Amino acid sequence: MSFSHLGLSPEIVRAVTERGYNRPTPIQKQAIPIVLSGGDILAGAQTGTGKTASFTLPLLHKLSTHQVQNNTNGFSPIRALILTPTRELAAQVQESVRDYGKYLDLNSMVMFGGVSIGPQKQKLRTRVDILVSTPGRLLDHVQQGTVNLSLVEVLVLDEADRMLDMGFINDIRRILSLLPKQRQNLLFFATFSDKIKTLAAGLLNNPTMIEVAQRNVTAATVSQKVYHVDRERKRQLLSHLIRENKWYQVLVFSRTKYGADRLVKQLGEDRIQALAIHGNKSQGARTHALGKFKAGTLQVLVATDIAARGLDISELPYVINYDLPNVPEDYVHRIGRTGRAGAEGEAISLVCVDEHHLLADIE
């Protein structure tokens, strides 16, 4: 089956082909026709399954084939709203919207905190069909009266489970109260939970449930290894593995922001180029580090769980758990950065004696 067989316009198919994609992934085969038909979706998908395109492609098609409503109150009404938990994921979703919609007469923008709000206000005065945003920055604009959500046709909650884990439920409820009752809702999650079930029950209208992988499991294409090591020898082992195997584009997870910064400094002492991303880094620093890593000019990226959520890096070969996560589901999210879309990947965990209980929970 090709993308054109799913009912997408030639302009979208052309843009998808230029990105190097010829055949839809399982979630795209299931989700795209439902979104095109106007149905609500509750979709569970691991990172790297093609999830983002499963909603951006049909969303672009729908908006490009329907009449735009008139401007009101000086601010162009948003037609589609995509909410994401982190700045990085918002930027990546916006990149997909822009690339896949390059041949369409649609405008999009991304909003998140950590940057000046002024340019965002100016952009919102122009025509914006698709808005990608984090909840907090969107509510900043709501409070200042600079965003018009009265005519939203489609709402997407991307990685809704992480938004709930990060405490955004009240923000989400407030945003929902500002949207028209008649709209299409698309809810995507990586880890199913009672919180997701409750949110879906109050949000979705007779949704189609889509799951492209067994709940809360790792991809079969990821090779998983555990090295038992004393805590004080972890850094030495990490440097040895990277140098001995000549690894490049290595994503390393640290449990804390302080630990991430310390590890970057220690790797530098071992002449291994590394940068860190976490919540205390400025948006400029995070964007710079991600750009170098995605371009293949940075050997190691050290990240905390929240900062790494939604990282969209194709064919990432190695993920290393320098510290095991406290929550087993976060292990699935971490190693989901490798082994994407059928490619092989390697996930390595460095486990010291006081982490054995965490390893047991994961297993």
pLDDT of 142-182, one tens digit each?
A: 999 999 899 999 999 998 888 888 888 999 999 999 999 99
- Span 99-109, average pLDDT: 94
- Span 255-270, average pLDDT: 91
CA 354, 229, 238, 344 torsion: positive or negative?
Answer: negative
Q: Is pLDDT of 214 > 50?
A: no
Q: Is 296 exposed, middle or buried (0-12, 13-18, 19+ CB in 10 A)?
A: exposed
- Span 244-272, average pLDDT: 89
Fold of the 4-211 domain: Rossmann fold (3.40.50)
What class is the 222-362 domain? alpha beta
The H-or-E segment that residue 194 falls in is helix 194-203
Total Cβ atoms within 10 A of residue 353 = 10
Total Cβ atoms within 10 A of residue 227 = 15
Q: Confidence class of residue 132 from pLDDT cuts 50, 70 and 90?
A: very high
- Nearest 5°: phi and psi at 4? -65, -30
pLDDT at 216: 42
Q: What is the mean pLDDT of the chain?
A: 85
Q: Name the segment(s) of the chain with CATH classification 3.40.50.300.
A: 4-211, 222-362
- Nearest 5°: phi and psi at 257? -65, -45
- Span 283-300, average pLDDT: 84
Alpha-carbon span 92 to 52, nearest angstrom: 9
pLDDT at 343: 55
pLDDT at 74: 55
Residue 294 in tokens: 């995605």
pLDDT at 26: 87
Q: Is pLDDT of 191 > 90?
A: no
pLDDT > 70 fraction of the chain, expressed in percent and rounded: 86
- Span 251-259, average pLDDT: 89
Number of H helices, E strands in the chain: 15, 13
Q: Confidence class of residue 50 from pLDDT cuts 50, 70 and 90?
A: confident
Q: Confidence class of residue 109 from pLDDT cuts 50, 70 and 90?
A: very high
- Span 73-80, average pLDDT: 75
Which residues share a beta bridge with 302? 252, 276
Q: Is pLDDT of 70 > 50?
A: yes
pLDDT at 268: 92
- Span 19-45, average pLDDT: 90
Q: Confidence class of residue 218 from pLDDT cuts 50, 70 and 90?
A: very low
pLDDT > 90 fraction of the chain, expressed in percent and rounded: 41
Q: Confidence class of residue 120 from pLDDT cuts 50, 70 and 90?
A: very high
Q: Which regions of 117-264 does DSSP assign to beta strands (E)?
A: 130-133, 154-157, 184-189, 208-211, 222-228, 250-253
Q: Is pLDDT of 67 > 80?
A: no
- Span 259-265, average pLDDT: 92
Q: Is pLDDT of 338 > 70?
A: no
- Span 71-85, average pLDDT: 79
pLDDT at 215: 42
